[in-house]
Structures are given as structure tokens and as C-alpha cells.
Amino acid sequence: MGVPMAHVPKESPTVKSILRPAALLFVGLLVLSACQSSASSSPTSSVPAGSAAPSGDDMTGDIQISGSSTVQPITSRVFEAFTALHPSVTGFVDGPGTGDGFALFCNGETDISDASRTIKDEEATTCADAGIEYVGLKVGIDGLSVITSVDNTAIECLSLLDLYALLGPESQSFSSWSDANDLAAELATQLGGDYGESHAPYPDETLTISGPGEESGTFDSFIELALSKIAAARNQDATTRPDYQAFADDNVIIEGVAGTADAPYTLGWVGFGVASENLDKVHLVAVDKGDGCTPATEDTIASASYPLSRYLYIYPNLASVTDKPAVQAFVDYYLSDEGIANVAAADYVPLAASDLAATRSAWEGR
């Protein structure tokens, strides 16, 4: 709070002619001090787009964030920088998965939900029934990276057809890569090259799969982008095979896919940021959706020419924004030039300028 306006008594007509110069000077100083105090205490409602939240140690509060393990590294970096500016602000950034995060969020247990996909209709209904209002904000771009062991030099590219043959609902019980050869041939006959060319015959080697579980937005996005269209054409449920090693922790997935020198024929998928930080352990496999093999790079993900590109989001609870000044200040900082730079710093792909402007406009117009 600013210093309150000083009260200066009005001059009485009977004494105005006998005020001495010192008294006039004293009154003038009081008025000047009061005006400066009033100006310094004028409130501001939000930080302009592109500007960082003001620093200082006067802010307090608690910010609770949960959700996507993919978005967690970005949000954690932003939170660390924000709390360095505001040391009295406390809280946590957790990453159990997008689905689990929305469950907490719609139950009123968190202030912000990180998400690697948009909120589902049933999740939105749960939030609405609980009176939870929110705004979804794009903060970056990710590419779902199909990965194998760095020692597996036999696999350089897989098409969407291949991914369905190896990882889709009809591949349950396939224990070797070559077990999928007949299904791949059947798919090629039915679908032609609409979803990329088959790379069968596959190696006659043990197939070990590690990936995210059903609580993860990365699991949902992989189904949507890689498997769902072929599943629909085959009258199958849009899901993965159930018999693989599912983990909530991306680092555990990396260790599973890293394999060993004696068993390098692994397969899995994670976010691009996680994969690119572990290129000593895993190899990124190019993906073909019908127009050739495209590797996952920052440029191909940003242009969406990589078939498995997706946006990343944060969902602030609007009641928390209103009731907890630290939450509003945190999102202001997140969307500032300084805050949003953490997307690239965490090895994800920054939004295009037009997308970032749209995100800032959505936040300001909430």
C-alpha cells in the first residue's frame, strides 16, 4: 500500500494575510509529498503482453500446479524464475499426467493444470459441474517422438501404417517385430499408401515397447495422431495394444527404450523435449504419414510437417486468478517474453508470433 494522502487544512480567511513564509513552505512540502504518494499507489490490473511481472519480495501466496509430464519441465523453469523474483511465493509443480491433472483441477485442488492436449468434453463437463471456470492457453509446440535404442541402426523410419501394425490394438501378443509382418501386408492391401508405405518385413528380433500410460496426454495424443484413423478404417477401438511397459515417468520410458547392447530392438514414444535431451540413449525415428519420411526437428515440428506435432497448454482456474494475486502474476510472467523463453530453454518449440499473440489476447480478454 502507498502512503496515505496527507490532510492539509484549508486556510482561514482571517489568517491568510499573516502566514509566514516558513509555514507556506511547510504546507507546500506536505502537498507535494501527498501527490507523490498518491501517484505511486495507483494500482495496475495486469502486466502488458510481452512484459515480465514486476520483481520484488512483497508478494506472497501459494500456487498449486499439476498435470502433463511433458509440460512440467517448462512450467517448472517458469516457476523457479518467478519465485526467485518473489521469494515469499510457495507452491509446487507436479507431473502425473494430463488426465490426472485435469481430475485434480476439476476437483478444485489445483490452480493451474498443465496439459499436452486440449481438455476433453467429459473433463470440461466435470469442471462445469464443480463450478470451475478456466481459460486454455497455448504455450508451446511439441512433437511426439517415436524412439528406439541408439544401438538399433536397422530402424530409421516408420510410417503410420507401421506404427499401427506394431503398436495398435491388433498387435496385441506380438513379441517380435516380425510378428507384425502379416498385419502390415494386410494393411498395405487395404489402405495403399494413404498412411505411408509399409517398411515390412521387420527384423526378426524381440520387440520391447515402453511408453506412457493412459493417464498421460502423450498417450492420448499418440492415439489421436498416429493410430485413430487406421483404427476407424479397421473398425477397431482407437487405442494402443495393452501389453507394453507403461510408465508415468518419462525418464523411466527413456531407460526402457535405451535397452542394452544385446537387446537394442526397442520401440516407444515420448515428447520431443525429453527425447532430444537423451540422444546418447535413444534414436529418433522419422515418421511417414503418406508424403515421405519426416524427422522430428524444431523446424518440422513448428511447421507441422512432422506428422505427430501438437500444441502444449496451461489451464488457469479463473477463480484462483481472481482470489490469489500470485496466480495472476505467475501467468502474467509465464506469458511475458522472459517467461515464455523457457519453452525453448526446455528444448521444446516456441509458438509462432501469431499464436503467441493469440494466447496473450485470450489471457488479457479472459
pLDDT digits (tens, 9 = 90+) for 145-195: 999 999 999 999 999 999 999 999 999 999 999 999 999 999 999 999 999
Q: 0.75 cut: is pTM over it?
A: yes
Provide the 3-class DSSP secondary structure of residue 350: coil
Helices 98-106 and 121-129 meet at what angle, rounded to 10? Answer: 20
Mean pLDDT computed over 239-254: 96
* pLDDT in the model for residue 325: 97
How many CA atoms lie less than 13 Å away from 245 in the CB half-sphere? 18
- In sequence order, what E strands does the chain have? 61-67, 89-93, 112-115, 137-149, 157-159, 208-212, 245-247, 266-271, 282-288, 293-294, 309-316
Tens digits of residue pLDDT in 85-101 = 999 999 999 999 999 99
Kindly report, residue by residue over 4-41, the tens digit of the pLDDT. 333 333 333 333 333 333 433 333 433 334 334 333 33
> How does pLDDT run across 61-93, given as a tens digit for each residue?
999 999 999 999 999 999 999 999 999 999 999
CB 86 within 8 A of CB 56: yes
For residue 22, the model assigns a pLDDT of 41
The pLDDT of residue 49 is 58
Mean pLDDT of the chain, nearest integer: 88
**How many other β-carbons are positioned within 10 Å of the β-carbon of residue 133?**
14
> Phi and psi of 272, rounded to 5°?
-60, -40
pLDDT at 50 (0 to 100): 63
Say whether pLDDT at 45 is over 80: no
At 231, is the secondary structure helix, strand, or coil? helix
Q: What is the pLDDT of residue 164?
A: 98
Residue at 292: amino acid letter = G
pLDDT at 351: 96
| Percent of the chain surpassing pLDDT 70 | 84
Give rounded-to-5 percent helix, strand, coil for the chain: 40, 20, 40
Question: Looking at residue 56, what is its pLDDT?
Answer: 52
